Every structure is written in C-alpha cells, then in structure tokens.
Amino acid sequence: MTEKVLHYIWKNRLYSRLLFYESVSRKSSVEGDVLQVGKYNIHAGPDFCEAKLCVGKLILAGNVEIHRKASEWITHKHHEDPAYDNVILHVVLEADQDIPHRITGKPILTAEMICSSQTLQEVEKELEKGNDLSSLDSDFVPNTQNSSVAFSFSEANLAVGDTIQHTKDLQPPYSKPHIAPKEPTISFQERAPQLFLERLHEKAEGLKTIYEENRGDLSETLYHFLLRHLGAQVNNDAFAQVARSLPLRIVRKHTDNTEALEALYLGQAALLAPKAVDTYMEALQERYTFLATKYQLTPLKEGCVRMLRLRPPAFPHRRLAILSALRQHYPLLESLLLECNDSKELQEKLATPPSTYWQHHYSFSTPSKNVLKGLSFESINVLIINVVLPYRYFVQRHKNEEKKNLSPILELASQLPSENNRFTRAAKLEGIVTQNALHSQALLQLYKNL
C-alpha cells in the first residue's frame, strides 16, 4: 500500500476516527479535532500545508506529514530536514514510536488513523485503475472522465433551491452525487455576487491570525499576507517566516535603493550562499552583512526556502527581486493595493520589472537567454484575487464598513478575466460561461457548498 492511499483518505476524511497522542510511548492521549486538512503538497517537504487543528484548548496551524508507521519519519531522514520543523501533526496507521522535534526534542503530536480494511482496499483499487487520485490540491475534484464520480454543473442547475443527496452506504470518492432539483429560483449570474462575497469572507477569516500576530497593524498584516502569497505555494511558509523576521518598518527605510531591498529579502531567505558566484551576489552579500548587523537580523536556516520542482518563473530569487522592485517604485505599496480601483492601472503597476540583473537571471546560478519581465498577467490577476480583494474585504469588516462599501470590491473583481481551471472548463462544457473573476470565484464557492 502506497502513501498516496493514506493521502487520499486524509484529504477526504475517510478514516473512522483519529487517536491523538502527545506521547506514543506513554500513551498520553489528548482530545483533538481536524478543522482543516490542509493543501496537498506535490513538492518536497511535508505532505499537507496550511492545516488547522484544535488540540485541547489550543488552535494549531501548520503542516501535516503522513506515514504508514511513525518510525518512517526517521527512515526518510525527516529528523535532519529543516523543512519539517513546522509539522504540527504526524498522521500514521501505526504509532510505533515517538518522533522528537528536530529543534525542541519534544515528541511531535501524533494521530493514529483508524481506517477499515475495506476503505483501504477500495482506495487502493481506484489507484490501481489509473484514476487520477493524486490531484489533491486545495480545490480537488475527481477526474470527470476517468473517475466513477462525475460532478455535473447542468445537473445542479445552479439554483438556490437545489439539494444534493449521497448514497448512504458509501463515502466519497465512491458515492456519486445525486441532485434532486427543485424549481430554479435564481440564476447563476444573479447568485454569483453573493457566492463571491461568501468566498471572500472565508478568505478574510484567514487574515485574523496574521492581524492579531501583528498587533492590529493593517499595513504589516498586508505585508505578511502578500509575502506569503509570493511563495507560490511551495514556499508559502518560508516567505511568511521572512516577513516575520524582517519587519515592514525596516523595509520602508530602504525603499530608495533596490539593491538594499534585494539584500534584505534574499539574505533573510538564506539565498545568499557563503561563496559568491558573481560580483553582483558578492555586492549583495556585503550589503546584507552590514544591514543584518545594523538591525540585528536573524536569517532563515539554509534549506527552508525550496527550489525542487519549481518552474523558473516561480524561483524564490525572482519573486523576492520582483517584490524589491515593487517596493522601490511604490514605497507605500500597501496603500496602492488598498486604494487603486482600476484593474488596468493595478495590473500595470504590479507588472513592474525587477532590477537589470534579475531581468537576465532566474537565480544566481541560472542565467536566462531572454530578457525576463516581472509577474505574468495571470500571476498578477491571481494576486489581486487572492490577496488584494480579501484584504480589502477584511479592512472594511474591521472598520464596520462592509455593507456600504462592497461595490468597489465587486466592480474590481468583475473587471478581471475569468480564471481558467478545471471548474471553469467543466462548467463551459455544460454551457455555463464565467465572464470574469467574480463569476469564476463564485463557481468555486458553489462547488464547495455542494
């Protein structure tokens, strides 16, 4: 049995129950509940990121690693890898030993996953058939061509009154949704704004923790939120650590100098290797050494920022260089993201190219034959959808202005092009066309509700 089987069971909560242990050897159990299973990670590092648990009276947020036996943590040498320092839960079928945290030495919280043999066998059979059950990202949908489950947008009829009934004897992915339609009352286009706002509300909820960590500083909150997003999923946690280690007040002191900003960001991310590969890297090293001493900065541990399986446009060096250029061109970047209501103007400003060096390099050791620009048009729109709009909604809720000031948010979303993903493509096959980002986000929320 492969770990993919366990990944799928965890993602879809197909286990019978979970037994949480603070210490396996002492059988020290604790009450626990999974609030969010997290996002599936196809890159190096923990299996699921951004999970959320309730353990005792504490809410924990971080990564989840899954094995058949707890001892496989040692076999796979995770105890030597800093990428696993943020694991909050070790999920196993057999809790055969305690796993000490690499830094603290305390046992990592373990959950023994109780599954029926029937569930394990059925999931394994689906994998053996070649069904694409490995696509377990944050908005996972079974493959509608190969899987036994086929979600149909036309069946759902996209009406408020529709209900879904599942076969009682089976659990996903083996049950096929059956839609019991009622008389349609509201069309998708009419319902889309409300669905979009529901999705925004849920995204804005995730900003609460960042806001509280930054003692109610809205600018610092957006700074952390933006940096995390630029991590391109695989480096979200690492970039969030960069934000925590490099306060916005320090960054703002150097917005007149792109080289200083690059030195700060790349240095804190531990991307300035001890041995310089060229004169520019050497200059950044010298600048960072001076600034780190001046501000008493502590960089991340080497290896926290990952490169494995990343496409060159998502290389962390370029992402941080682009952010440095944005900071230099727009010192009050947070104000720009909060106040600009024209999508074209916002897109043009976010397309700011990096410094000359990074227009010809993906990383210090990876030059480019072609001139490289800033963020792509698609990346900019994703940033506006996932950072700018949720942040604006959060600010308006914070100021108790959400009821009277939602129109600019809705208008900006309607100015952005529709996303192109499996949801929108499946809907298009059913004759439902999403005209803009407001519609495509509403479609995602509709599926989630169903």
Q: With cut-offs at 50, 70 and 90, classify the pLDDT of residue 138.
A: very low
Which structural domain, as residue segments, surrounds residue 53? 3-129
Residues 213 and 319 in one domain: yes
Q: With cut-offs at 50, 70 and 90, classify the pLDDT of residue 98.
A: very high
Residue 446: name the closest of 190, 229, 137 by CA: 190
Q: Assess if residue 223 is contained within a domain.
A: yes
Identify which has the larger pLDDT, 164 or 96: 96
Q: Average the pLDDT over 413-437 and give the result.
A: 89
- What's CA 314's distance to the chain center, in Å? 14
In this predicted structure, what is the pLDDT of residue 427? 84
CA distances to 128, 208, 308, 450 from 141, in Å:
19, 28, 25, 12
In this predicted structure, what is the pLDDT of residue 403? 56
Residues 281 and 415 in one domain: yes
Residues 232 and 370 in one domain: yes
Q: Average the pLDDT over 7-29 and give the result.
A: 91
Assess contact for 414 and 437: CB atoms under 8 A.
yes
Residues 119 and 193 in one domain: no
In this predicted structure, what is the pLDDT of residue 165? 30
Residues 218 and 87 in one domain: no
Residues 114 and 218 in one domain: no
End residue of a domain, out of 94, 129, 164:
129
In this predicted structure, what is the pLDDT of residue 406? 85
Residues 266 and 339 in one domain: yes
In this predicted structure, what is the pLDDT of residue 404? 57
Identify which has the larger pLDDT, 131 or 380: 380
Q: What gap in Å lies between CA 409 and CA 127, rounded to an integer?
A: 42
Q: What gap in Å lies between CA 298 and CA 294, rounded to an integer?
A: 11
Tell me the pLDDT tens digit for each residue of 191-245. 889 899 999 998 988 898 899 999 999 999 999 999 999 998 889 999 999 999 9
CA distances to 105, 231, 237, 342, 349 from 224, in Å:
29, 11, 11, 24, 20
Q: What gap in Å lies between CA 317 and CA 61, rounded to an integer?
A: 26
Tell me the pLDDT tens digit for each residue of 289-310. 999 999 999 999 988 999 877 8
Q: Assess if residue 176 is contained within a domain.
A: no
Q: Is the pLDDT of residue 137 over 60?
A: no
In this predicted structure, what is the pLDDT of residue 402? 54
Q: What percent of the chain lies above the pLDDT cut of 90?
A: 59
Beta bridge partner(s), residue 408: none
Q: What gap in Å lies between CA 357 and CA 363, rounded to an integer?
A: 10
- DSSP-derived secondary structure for 120-153: HHHHHHHHHTT------STT----TTTSS----H
Q: Which residues contact 361 (CB under 8 A, 6 or more apart)?
A: 317, 318, 367, 368, 372
* pTM score over 0.85: no
Residues 217 and 70 in one domain: no
Quick one: which H or E segment has residue 203?
helix 188-205
Q: Assess if residue 263 is contained within a domain.
A: yes
- DSSP-derived secondary structure for 317-379: HHHHHHHHHHHHH-TTHHHHHHH---HHHHHHHHT----TGGGSEEETTEE-SSPP-SS-HHH
Q: Assess if residue 302 is contained within a domain.
A: yes
Q: With cut-offs at 50, 70 and 90, classify the pLDDT of residue 339.
A: very high
Beta bridge partner(s), residue 164: 179
Residue 203: name the closest of 394, 447, 66 by CA: 394
End residue of a domain, out of 78, 112, 129:
129
Residues 196 and 85 in one domain: no
Q: Average the pLDDT over 148-163 and give the result.
A: 37
Q: Is the pLDDT of residue 38 over 80?
A: yes
Q: What gap in Å lies between CA 215 and CA 236, rounded to an integer?
A: 21
Q: Is the pLDDT of residue 175 over 60?
A: no
The three-class DSSP label of residue 283 is helix
**DSSP 8-class letter at 49:** E
Q: Assess if residue 171 is contained within a domain.
A: no
Q: Assess if residue 280 is contained within a domain.
A: yes
Q: Assess if residue 146 is contained within a domain.
A: no
Mean pLDDT of the chain: 85
Least confident span in 99-103, 161-165, 272-276: 161-165
End residue of a domain, out of 86, 110, 129:
129
Residues 121 and 194 in one domain: no
Q: With cut-offs at 50, 70 and 90, classify the pLDDT of residue 186.
A: low
Query: 10 Å Cβ neighbour count for 307?
Result: 17
Assess contact for 37 and 62: CB atoms under 8 A.
no
Tell me the pLDDT tens digit for each residue of 345-403. 999 999 999 999 999 999 998 899 999 999 999 999 999 999 999 999 999 888 876 55
The three-class DSSP label of residue 433 is coil
Q: In degrees rounded to 5, what are phi and psi of residue 443?
A: -65, -40
Residues 227 and 100 in one domain: no
Q: Assess if residue 137 is contained within a domain.
A: no
Q: Is the pLDDT of residue 62 over 90?
A: no
Residues 117 and 193 in one domain: no
Q: How many domains does the chain have?
A: 2
Longest dimension (CA), the chain: 70
